[in-house]
Chains A and B, each alone.
Chain A
Amino acid sequence: MEEKATYFINGVGIITPQKTFDREVFLSEISQYDKNILTCIAPDFKAYINPIQMRRLSRMLRIGLSAATICLRNSKITMPDGIITATGYGFLDETAKFLKELLEQGEKQLTPTYFMQGTSNALAGLVALTIKCMGYNNTYASKGVGFENALTDTMMQLNENASLNFLIGAYDEAAEIQYNASIRASHFKTEFINNLSLFDTNTKGSIQGEGSAFFMLSGKSSASTLCIMSDMDVVYKPDGRELQDALDNFLATNSLDAEHIDVIINGVSGDVEHDAVTNTLIRSRFENTAQTRFKHLCGEYTTATSFALWLGTSILSRQQVPDIVKVQHWNQPDKLRTILIVNQYMSKSFTFILLKEFVETQ
């Protein structure tokens, strides 16, 4: 029997519609939105990007590069061995700008900037270029499972060589053209709501979110280790039985019963139909476990698993659960050692991630 590998999260940098870039606060100042579109609370980019470089970068590239830089600084790694990014919709704002110009100008007199910054791998390339990292470099653009692909890739790299440090990140932007095209298909709610009342709604659709989060993963712990990622699994388009089996298999593979999980991070998105599926699944095995939710804070986006991973990492490293993420009838767990993330995207893909507290041994 092979021993299960362990993956350490040794740093994080995250920019989202809440003030998450600042390590000094942990969801204590909450931003509210009332137009169903949540956009990033950005730091002063000058703290992370040199001004000459910044002039040429789109908003989302600035956000992504800043998140990556925060992660590098927090993990005290100047040169990672590899960089992997993930996205669902890519740099859709830049793509749209080029597309609009192309259509409006009849394919004439176009400049290439928007085209260049619209490619999905622009951020992984930019981070590599900025820190001169010539190592492994990859970008997954797989709708709801891109960040999960990146985690899988990283875990395999670390299985081969545990001492590597991989900088992996996710980004997705609340692009106007995605909103306009998708609202017709009930991806987003047609009635305006306050983001904090997302889970009080009883309608189809979610609210549009965005964010960029970077993590430093290694097979070795460091002075900055925040928590342990033990395992991850994804199921695509399962029927009810397959979904239940997937969760049960995940728990069994990790020798876990319900009582071993201290906190669940539930990826419900406020869509009445999708949420019913996930809530039923979680209730089936975790009747009394303390639950948290997060998409009222960041909105729904294809790589929102990265927000959940940051939330879980922060709960374990700070030994604190912010009130804003607690589900009603919160049962305070007597310890915060093991967290299970159950995320879903449009009930099409489901993700399970197991996180454990990192306890330093001599």
Chain B
Amino acid sequence: MSMSQRVFITGLGIITSIGKNADENLQSLVTGKYGFGSLEVLETVHRDSLSACEIKLEDRALSEQAGVPLHEGFTRTSLLGLISLQEAIQSAGLSPAEVRTSGLISATTTGGIREYETHYYELMDPKLRGDFVRFTDTATSGEHCERMADHVGIKKYLGTISTACSSSANSLMHGAQLIKNNKLDRVICGGTEALSKFTLNGFNALMILDKQHCRPFDSTRSGLNLGEGAAFLVLESEAEVNRKKRTPIAELKGYGNANDAFHQTASSPDGAGAFSAMQLALSSAQLQPEDIDYVNAHGTATENNDLSEGLGMKRLFGPDIPYFSSTKPYTGHTLAAAGSIEAVYCLMAIKHAVIWPNLNYKNMMPELGIQPVTTLRQEMKLKYVLSNSFGFGGNTSSLLLASV
């Protein structure tokens, strides 16, 4: 079978705590505006103690932006996904017929658990009736994907990936594979994640949340900040791009997926999984480490991730580590959505020839001796960029994006 079909990115959409569309996200990245602050929308006892990167829009406003009625049972995860999915479709200029014949690969860790936890006691009493029944199935990951697909009219291929914090990087990989295998001409891939009491308390119980603004790759880092958001990218086959004679945004040139096989929730101390994912991405694109111009690191600012990822990068790149930064201080860790959100940031970096700064970095980690980009670097011609996403369960993924 011919695997030579190239895969291009022709559209994107994004919503995060630093902007409700691509333009707003770009402006915030350029001006150094971040989303970290007190929780105002999520109802939790931790409002005064745990800050996060929250989208300061109530579900009512999100429903309006998504163009769906408020009481139809769309979860916040579905709404965020739908907003960015529709922006991606628009940005690629897809016709309704093209949307119908697209695939949709989404990613989430907990789907609509936010609504499920809100209505838990009602849902558990089978005798009760009310609006809450619309959230009957929202404890599943796949529910949101069906809701989004049904709303925009996608039927051809659906999939939901849930590999913790590497989920949406894997949804882009699966989409690219479907195109390379001639199963689809076009597939929209990404991920979406809303903040919930469930995840906030889960990460709090794991004691990896920093109450202060997170500091990736800094020796004083002490944990991650949670965030919420969604991003979707339209992938199209080379044949489809040629047929339409449109200039794509970039090429999804390679990808790697591996497992650290070290610990259920921690990364290996030597960064074996990180190294392996990046190396696989390079080899699938037939590139060498020195070809890489920038790495958008997973960089969660947990003690464990940044050390493991940093060692993985050092092992792969040797003494000449390319420019790298983590954009987590802007958006927080958006879990399953992080991979697609950061892929969008890489595409913006390529397009505008900039490298996003790793905010809050001051002190070098002595174990690493490497330094991320700390100020906005301009006029940086970027040809090949890596975007890393790692997660619980040892899942490590890396995407290789190329300018066109």
* Residue positions of A touching B, CB distance < 8 A: 2, 5, 83, 88-90, 92, 95, 98-100, 102-103, 106-108, 110-112, 115-116, 119-122, 124-126, 128-129, 131-146, 149, 152-153, 156-157, 159-160, 177-178, 180-185, 234-238, 302, 348
Enumerate chain A residues within 8 angstroms of B46, measured Cβ to Cβ: 107
Given contacts A177-B124, A181-B123, contact A90 B259 (CB under 8 A): no
Task: Report B252-272 CB contacts with A as 1/0, cut-off 8 Å.
Answer: 000001111111110000001
Q: In the complex the two chains form, is B393's CB within 8 Å of A184's CB? A: no
Bound Cα distance from A92 to B197, whole angstroms: 16
Return B3 CB to nearest CB of chain A, in Å. Answer: 6
Complex interface residues of chain B between 118 and 147 (CB less than 8 A to chain A):
120-121, 123-126, 129, 133, 136-137, 139-143, 145-146
Q: Which residue of A lies closest to B116 (CB)?
A: A99
B316 to chain A, nearest CB (A): 15
User: Of A88, A115, A152, which is within 8 A of B205 by CB?
Assistant: A115
Contacts of A178 in B (CB 8 A): 139
Contacts of B126 in A (CB 8 A): 180-181, 183-184
Name B299-349 residues within 8 Å CB distance of A: none
- Report Cα–Cα, A182/B116, bound state, in Å: 12
- By a beta-carbon cutoff of 8 Å, the part of chain B in contact with chain A is 1-3, 44-46, 109-110, 113, 116-117, 120-121, 123-126, 129, 133, 136-137, 139-143, 145-146, 149-150, 155-164, 170, 174, 177-178, 180-181, 183, 197-198, 201-202, 204-206, 257-265, 272-273, 276, 391-395
The 7 A-B residue pairs whose C-beta atoms are closest, nearest first, are A125-B393, A143-B142, A115-B202, A141-B141, A120-B162, A141-B162, A137-B259
Tell which of B1, B44, B123, B393 touches A180, judged by Cβ atoms closer than 8 Å: B123
Complex CA distance for A116 and B258, rounded to whole angstroms: 20
A137 CA to B273 CA, complexed, in Å = 11
Tell me the complex Cα distance, A160–B163, Å.
Answer: 23
Which residue in chain A gives the minimum CB-CB distance to B104? A236
- A153:B204 contact, CB within 8 angstroms: no
Tell me whether A121 and B261 are in contact (CB under 8 A): no
Interface centre among A92, A126, A143, A237 (most CB of B within 10 A): A143
Contacting residues, chain B, for A143 (C-beta < 8 A): 137, 140, 142-143, 146, 160
Please state if A141 and B161 are interface contacts (CB–CB under 8 Å).
yes
Q: A95-B139, A144-B142 are in contact. List 6 more A-B contacts (CB 8 A).
A: A107-B46, A119-B162, A126-B264, A129-B262, A137-B395, A181-B123
**Does the CB pair B197–A83 fall under 8 Å?**
no
A116–B136 touching, CB < 8 Å: no
Taking the nearest CB of chain A, how far is it from the CB of B122, in angstroms? 9
Contact B265 A138, beta carbon cutoff 8 Å: no
Bound complex: CA of A180 vs CA of B163, how far in Å? Answer: 27
Whether A181 pairs with B159 at a CB distance below 8 angstroms is no
Judge whether B120 and A121 touch: CB under 8 Å: no
Compute how far the CA of A51 lies from the CA of B113 in the bound complex, rounded to whole angstroms: 33
Beyond A129-B263, A142-B145, A185-B136, whether A134 also contacts B272 by CB under 8 A is yes
User: What A residues does B163 contact at CB under 8 A?
Assistant: 120-121, 124, 137-139
- Tell me whether B261 and A134 are in contact (CB under 8 A): yes
